[in-house]
Amino acid sequence: MPIDIEMLLPDPPLWLAAPLMGEPDAARLLATLDAELPWQRPTLRLYGREHAIPRCQVWMGDPEASYRYSGRDFYPEPWHPAVADLRDRVVDALPTAGVPGRFNSVLLNRYANGDEKMGWHSDDEPELGVAPLIAAVSLGCERPLRFRWKDRRAEAFNVWLPHDSLLVMGPGTQRVLQHALLPRRLPGLRISLTFRDTRPSG
């Protein structure tokens, strides 16, 4: 099946590709991940108080890929075979978008409904290197990922992420843009997988 690739920005390179897998594979993967992963809702410390994050997540990857996020260390779950297959499929699709890459880990986010969310951030932890390539696969309910320029050089914008799509945030994106999955009056489960390549820190 031909994959349709839309260039959203040339610089930094931001691409959206869909459909990635086609059906029934994409629907089956959503159901498998929902049912089989050890979803967790960790708490984060914010202004001295503990808050459960407004979504569930699983961190998965090669054994040596540990990751620091919002002041906590996460150690990866071993690759679920379905996620390892998806990783290989994403890596195969990257050269078509002109940004070859590889990944040793993935953060999976599960949003039960439109109330669940992720706040403004850049994926710019030191473990990711100076100009990381991050590939985000979306499954389930279509929601917008909102982007804003750190220097406010232009208006913020939405990228709607349909079921079975791949968003490629190329090198440089995390330096100049932040992104957030804001709450929306939308029902339905959404699972995203953000593939990364982390190096040991220290």
Ligand X SMILES: O=C(O)CCC(=O)C(=O)O
Contact between 118 and ligand X by CB under 6 A: the answer reads yes
Instruction: Report how far residue 67's alpha carbon sits from residue 132's, in angstroms, rounded to the nearest whole number.
Output: 14
Cα 41 → chain centroid: 17
142-171 residues in contact with ligand X (CB under 6 A) are 145, 161
Judged by beta carbon distances under 5 to 8 A according to partner kind, the member of Fe ion, ligand X, none in contact with residue 165 is: none
Q: Give the residue closest to Fe ion by C-beta.
A: 123
Q: How many residues line the site for Fe ion (CB under 5 A)?
A: 1
Output 140 or 195, the one with its CB closest to Fe ion: 195
Task: Tell me how far apart the alpha carbons of residues 102 and 197 are, in angstroms, rounded to a whole number.
Answer: 7
Chain centroid to CA 180: 11
107 in contact with ligand X (CB under 6 A): yes
Contact status: 181 vs ligand X (CB under 6 A): yes
- Cβ atoms of residues 165 and 137 within 8 Å: yes
Spatial neighbors of 42 by CB under 8 A, at least 6 apart, are 52, 53, 57, 72
CA distances from residue 134 to 14, 67, 175 in whole angstroms, order as listed: 10, 14, 12
Of 165, 173, 194, 198, the one binding ligand X by CB under 6 A: 194
DSSP states along 140-157: ES-EEEEEEETT--S--E
From Fe ion, ligand X, none, interface partner of 141 (C-beta below 5 to 8 A by class):
none
Among 25, 77, 123, 125, binds Fe ion (CB under 5 A): 123
Smallest distance, Å, CB 106 to ligand X? 9
Q: Of the two residues 2 and 70, which places its CB atom closer to ligand X in the complex?
A: 70
Distance CA 60, CA 99 (A): 23
Of 37, 53, 86, 136, which one interacts with ligand X (CB under 6 A)? 136
Among 105, 174, 178, 192, which residue interacts with ligand X (rule: CB under 6 A)? 192
Note whether 105 binds ligand X by CB under 6 A.
no
d(CA 44, CA 59): 15
Would you tell me which residues interact with ligand X (CB under 6 A)?
Answer: 107, 109, 118, 123, 136, 138, 145, 161, 179, 181, 192, 194
